[in-house]
Chain A
Amino acid sequence: MARAIKGMLIECDPSIKSLVVKIDQDYRDIIIEELDDTHLLIDPSKLTFIKKELNRILADNSYNPFDDEDPQAVAATLG
C-alpha cells in the first residue's frame, strides 16, 4: 500500500521556490520533498523561518529610494 508523509505543502512561483531551495541548502532539514516547479513539501515547523528568510532576501534585492538619495543630499550641502 502507499505511504503517507505528514508535512506542509507550499505553493509559490518558481523564483521563490529556488530561493527556498537555496535556504534549504544553507540551513538543512527544511525541504522534505521537491514536488514540481511550484510546489514543495516542507517541515511544518519551519514555515515561519522560511518566511522570515524570504523577506530578508527579498528586502536585500529591492530598491529603496532613500538609499541613493541621502549621499546626494550630503553632496549637495557640501558642494
Chain B
Amino acid sequence: MSTPQPPSSSSLDTEESVDFFKSTINEYLDNLPESVHQELFQSRETCLAIFRLLPALSKFYIMALLFHETSAPYSDLNRWVKSNKSSEFKGHQNPTKIYQNDSIKRLKSLHILKEIKRQMVHPITKQPTIIIFVQLNEIFRQSLRDALTGFLPDSTQDQSKISLASVNNSNKGKSNDLNSMFEDDIDNDITIEYLDRYCLAKWENILHFMVGTEIKEIPSVGVLTLLRFSGLMELPSDREHREALNGMIDDTIDNNYEEDNKKSIHTLRQLLITRTGFQFLLQEISSQIWTLLIQYLIMAEKLKMNPVDVLNFIFLLGSLELGQGYAISMLSKTQLIMLDHLQDYGLIYHQKNSSVFYPTRLATSLTSESSSFKTASNAIDQEISQPRADKETNSGAIIIETNFKIYCYTSSPLQIAILNLFVHLRARFSNMVTGVVTRDSVRSALRNGISSAQIINYLETHAHSGMIELAEAEYNKKYEFESSIGNMSALEQLKLEILPPTVIDQIKLWQLELDRVQSFKGYLYKDFNNDFEFEKLLSYGEDIGIIIWKDKVKRKFFVSQEGNPQLIDYANKIIRNSSNTPRANTPA
C-alpha cells in the first residue's frame, strides 16, 4: 500500500497533465447522490482514493479537520488560508479566493463537508447570531482515519462492515480489508515485467482495433459494446442513422442499449472510429483508461450493477500492490463479474480457475498521486515506445513537406495505423513510413468524423524536432526583420509555423469542401398581399429568431420547421383581429 502524501502543492505542469482524467472521474463522483456517497465512504480504500483525487486545498481542509472531534466555525476555513490581498483583485475576482471556493464546493458536493448552523449568543453584545460550523462526514472521517493509521477494526467497526458483509455473500467470515487479502504468491513466475507486457498487449490491442488495424485477436464483445456505448466507435448503421439525422445529436444509441447488447461479435467487428474516438486515441494512456472506466460505470448502472460495489472495486485496485497476487474469495458477486470484464482491458491478470488475481500497472496507477502517476505512465510510455529499443518513436517523428509528402520515423504499428487514418501511405521501411496527404485520404478521415483541426493538431504535436528548429529559425529571421523596420503590427501577428501553411490551409479547405451545402428544413413564405402583412410577420419572426432567410424586395422569407407553428399562431391572431376591425381589412 502506498502511503498517502501530505497535502503539499505539487508542481503545476504535473497537475495539468493529469487534469483531464481527474476532472472526469471527479465529475462523476460529484454527481452521485448522498446515499451513495455514504455507502462509498464505508470503504477506507475508497476514502483514500477520493482524498487523493481532490485538489490540494481540499486535502488540506480534510487533514485539518480529520482529528478535530467537534465542528469548526466556517470562518476558520478562511483564516487557514493566506489570501493574497493585492489591489488588483477584488472580491471573487481573486484567484486564491476562487480556488478556495472551488475546493470547499468540491468537498460539499461530495458530502464530505457538512455545514451546521447554530444559534449562538454573542459574548459581548449578547445578541443571538447564527454562526455556520463545518464538520467532516462522520463515516468518511472514521474510514480515512483508519486508512491513515492502519487501525484494524475488530469489534468497534463491525457496524460499518455489516453492509459490506451482506454484499459478500460468498464468504461472511472474511472482512473486506486489504490485510486479509494478502495471500502468498502461488505462481511465482508472474513477475512485474510479465504483467506489464500483458496489460500493454491487451490495451494496445483495443487501440489497434479502434484504428482498424488487422489484428489476430479481436477484443471481447464486452469491450466492443462499451466502445460503441461510449460513442468512441459506431456501426455503419449508426453512422447512416446519424447522417440521416443531419448531424443532430443523437441519444438513441443510449436508449436502445439493451437491444445492442445482443449484437453478435460479427456485427460488432465492423465498428468504425468516431470523432470522439480519435480524440480518445490522442490522449494519455491513463486518461484513456479513466474515460473507459467512467463509461463502464454508467453502463454498469444500466445493467443494474451496484455502483458502490463497482466504484469500491476500482478504487481498491488503485491501492493494491503491483506484482502481488490477491485472493478472489474476498470479492462480492458484482466484483467477480467485474473481474472478468476488467481482464479484457488488461487492468487485471487472472488465470481461469485460479483463486488469485493480479492487478496490472494500468490498475495500480489509477488513483496514484500525480508524482507517482507520472513515473508509472512514463514507464508505460517507454514500454510502448521500446519494441525496438528506440525512444524517439512515440513523439517528434513526423516531417511534412510543402508538397504534402509526409515522412514519419516510427516502427510502432499503432502510430502507423493512426497515420493511416488520414495519410495515403506509400512505403514502409524498418524505421520509417512515407506517404502523401491527399484530398481523398483527408476526406476519408473527415468522413470518419475526424476534424481537420484534429489532424493538424496531431501533426503539430508529433512534428519532428527538425521541423520545429526550422520553424524557430524562420520565426527568428522574420522577427528580426520586422523589428528592424519597426513594423509592430506584423510583429504581433508573427506565429511559430511548425507545419507548412499551405498544408494547414489545404486540409482546412478540404474540410470546408465537404460541407459546401448547408440545409434547413422549413417553410418559404411568399405572395404577400401587402407590405404591412409581410413586415408584421417578418418582424415577429425575427424577434423570436426563427427567420433563416429573407428578401424584402421580393417579399419572401424562410422559417425554420420548429418555428413555423408559432408564426402560424401569430398570423391567425392577426387575421382574427383584422376581421374584428374591418378598418384593417385588406381586399383579397
Residues of B within 8 A of A10 (CB): 517-520
The answer, among B517, B522, B571, for a CB contact under 8 Å with A12, is B517
Q: B87-111 toward A: CB 8 Å interface, digit per residue (1/0)? A: 0000000000000000000000000
B546 to chain A, nearest CB (A): 12
Contact call A50/B517, Cβ cutoff below 8 A? yes
Interface residues of B in 390-438 (CB under 8 A from A): 404, 424, 436, 438
B513 at the interface (CB under 8 A from A): yes
Contact call B549/A2, Cβ cutoff below 8 A? no
B580 to chain A, nearest CB (A): 16
Contact call A8/B525, Cβ cutoff below 8 A? no
Interface of A is mostly: mixed
Residues of A within 8 A of B527 (CB): 2-3
The answer, among B524, B529, B534, for a CB contact under 8 Å with A4, is B524
A31 to chain B, nearest CB (A): 12
Contact call B438/A66, Cβ cutoff below 8 A? yes
Q: A25-67 toward B: CB 8 Å interface, digit per residue (1/0)? A: 0000000110110010100100100110010001000111110
The answer, among B438, B518, B534, B564, for a CB contact under 8 Å with A64, is B438
Please measure, in the bound complex, the distance between the C-alpha atom of A51 and the C-alpha atom of B514, giving whole angstroms: 9
Please measure, in the bound complex, the distance between the C-alpha atom of A33 and the C-alpha atom of B551, giving whole angstroms: 13
A38 to chain B, nearest CB (A): 9
B439 at the interface (CB under 8 A from A): yes
Residues of A within 8 A of B439 (CB): 62-64
Contact call A47/B523, Cβ cutoff below 8 A? no
The answer, among A3, A12, A35, for a CB contact under 8 Å with B516, is A12
- In the complex with contacts A1-B575, A2-B537, A13-B516 CB distance below 8 A: yes
B266 at the interface (CB under 8 A from A): no
Q: A10-28 toward B: CB 8 Å interface, digit per residue (1/0)? A: 1111001000100000000
Please measure, in the bound complex, the distance between the C-alpha atom of A5 and the C-alpha atom of B521, giving whole angstroms: 11
Contact call A2/B517, Cβ cutoff below 8 A? no
Please measure, in the bound complex, the distance between the C-alpha atom of A12 and the C-alpha atom of B527, giving whole angstroms: 25
- In the complex with contacts A2-B528, A35-B556, A65-B436, A11-B517 CB distance below 8 A: yes
B340 at the interface (CB under 8 A from A): no
Contact call A4/B521, Cβ cutoff below 8 A? no
B158 at the interface (CB under 8 A from A): no
B587 to chain A, nearest CB (A): 12
A53 to chain B, nearest CB (A): 11
Please measure, in the bound complex, the distance between the C-alpha atom of A12 and the C-alpha atom of B519, giving whole angstroms: 9
Residues of B within 8 A of A58 (CB): 513, 516
Residues of B within 8 A of A33 (CB): 524
- In the complex with contacts A2-B526, A35-B556, A39-B549, A44-B521 CB distance below 8 A: yes
A8 to chain B, nearest CB (A): 5
Residues of B within 8 A of A13 (CB): 516
Contact call B558/A41, Cβ cutoff below 8 A? yes
Contact call A3/B440, Cβ cutoff below 8 A? no
Please measure, in the bound complex, the distance between the C-alpha atom of A3 and the C-alpha atom of B529, giving whole angstroms: 10
Interface residues of B in 521-544 (CB under 8 A from A): 521-529, 533-534, 537
Please measure, in the bound complex, the distance between the C-alpha atom of A62 and the C-alpha atom of B548, giving whole angstroms: 32
- In the complex with contacts A58-B513, A64-B439, A11-B518 CB distance below 8 A: yes
The answer, among A1, A20, A47, A54, for a CB contact under 8 Å with B529, is A1
Contact call A9/B522, Cβ cutoff below 8 A? yes
Contact call A2/B440, Cβ cutoff below 8 A? no
Residues of B within 8 A of A47 (CB): 519
Contact call A9/B524, Cβ cutoff below 8 A? yes
Most chain A CB inside 10 Å of its own CB: which residue of B516, B520, B549, B559: B516
Contact call A12/B526, Cβ cutoff below 8 A? no
Residues of A within 8 A of B521 (CB): 8, 44
Contact call A54/B438, Cβ cutoff below 8 A? no
- In the complex with contacts A1-B529, A1-B571, A2-B534, A16-B524 CB distance below 8 A: no
Smallest CB gap from A17: residue in B = B517
Residues of A within 8 A of B518 (CB): 10-12
Please measure, in the bound complex, the distance between the C-alpha atom of A6 and the C-alpha atom of B560, giving whole angstroms: 10
Contact call B549/A9, Cβ cutoff below 8 A? yes
Please measure, in the bound complex, the distance between the C-alpha atom of A31 and the C-alpha atom of B247, giving whole angstroms: 23
Smallest CB gap from B588: residue in A = A1
Contact call B549/A16, Cβ cutoff below 8 A? no
Residues of B within 8 A of A1 (CB): 529, 533, 571, 575
Residues of A within 8 A of B440 (CB): 64
- In the complex with contacts A12-B517, A54-B516, A5-B438 CB distance below 8 A: no
Smallest CB gap from B440: residue in A = A64
Please measure, in the bound complex, the distance between the C-alpha atom of A52 and the C-alpha atom of B534, giving whole angstroms: 37
Please measure, in the bound complex, the distance between the C-alpha atom of A18 and the C-alpha atom of B299, giving whole angstroms: 49
Please measure, in the bound complex, the distance between the C-alpha atom of A6 and the C-alpha atom of B534, giving whole angstroms: 18
- A-B contacts, 30 of them at CB < 8 A, read A1-B571, A1-B575, A3-B526, A4-B523, A5-B524, A7-B522, A7-B523, A8-B519, A8-B520, A8-B521, A9-B548, A9-B549, A9-B558, A11-B517, A11-B518, A11-B519, A11-B549, A12-B517, A12-B518, A13-B516, A16-B516, A20-B517, A35-B551, A39-B549, A41-B524, A44-B521, A54-B516, A65-B404, A65-B436, A65-B438
5 tightest CB-CB pairs across the interface, nearest first? A11-B518, A4-B523, A2-B528, A5-B524, A9-B520
Known: A1-B529, A32-B524. 15 other contacts (CB 8 A): A1-B575, A4-B525, A4-B559, A4-B564, A5-B523, A8-B520, A10-B518, A11-B518, A11-B549, A12-B517, A12-B518, A35-B558, A54-B517, A64-B438, A64-B440
